[in-house]
Amino acid sequence: ELMSKLVAELLSYSKSGLQGAAVKLEPVNLRDLVERVVQRETSPEKPKVEVAIDEQLTAKAQPELLFRAVANVVRNSLDYAADNGKIGIAAEKNGNHVALTISDDGPGVPDEMLEKIFDPLFRVQDDRSRESGGTGLGLAIVKTCVEACGGHVFARNREPNGLEVVIKVDKPRHKTTAGLC
């Protein structure tokens, strides 16, 4: 079963390694996408996920790749959040970009490892068994999917505890009578 999971994640990682030029980007409604992720990834025994995203907010992305990226981050947050911890997903416009932030109340990551967590096969605690930790591909998949959409991803610790993963992608450009806005 563990080998099957690893092979599935390797295939997913391989598929996400698309070149940005080969990916067709389109406007994606973030609230709809996040609500589909939450519906798929949550269950009654897992922490509650609070979504605070404007219903009209869109991002320029490839829908399947962005869905895969957000689902992987949400899955990690659900796995590592404290038993009664909260997970929040929010998004905001920031200039020509949209920032989607997924936060949890888990233990966070040692500061010196924050940049490494998106590397393939990197695990914060190598001594953990595969049952309590992942394969080290989930966040690498996130990075590859987000970069294929022309965006970038980073993580930061929260105070007093927890982790935030921020996915930044472009806003779609809308034509107006005066040109592009």
Model confidence pLDDT, tens digit, residues 97-106:
999 999 999 8
Identify the pLDDT of residue 71. Answer: 95
pLDDT confidence band for 48 (50 / 70 / 90):
confident
Read off the pTM.
0.82
pLDDT confidence band for 176 (50 / 70 / 90):
very low
Model confidence pLDDT, tens digit, residues 75-91:
989 988 867 678 999 99
Identify the pLDDT of residue 180. Answer: 41
d(CA 34, CA 40): 10
Answer whether residue 9 shows pLDDT above 80.
Answer: no
List all residues 6 or more positions away from 113 whose beta carbon is below 8 Å from its beta carbon: 122, 124
d(CA 4, CA 40): 20
What type of residue sits at position 179?
G
> What's the order of all strands across the beta sheet hosting 87-94?
49-52, 87-94, 97-104, 163-170, 152-157
Identify the pLDDT of residue 17. Answer: 55
The answer to whether the beta carbons of residues 114 and 156 sit under 8 Å apart is yes
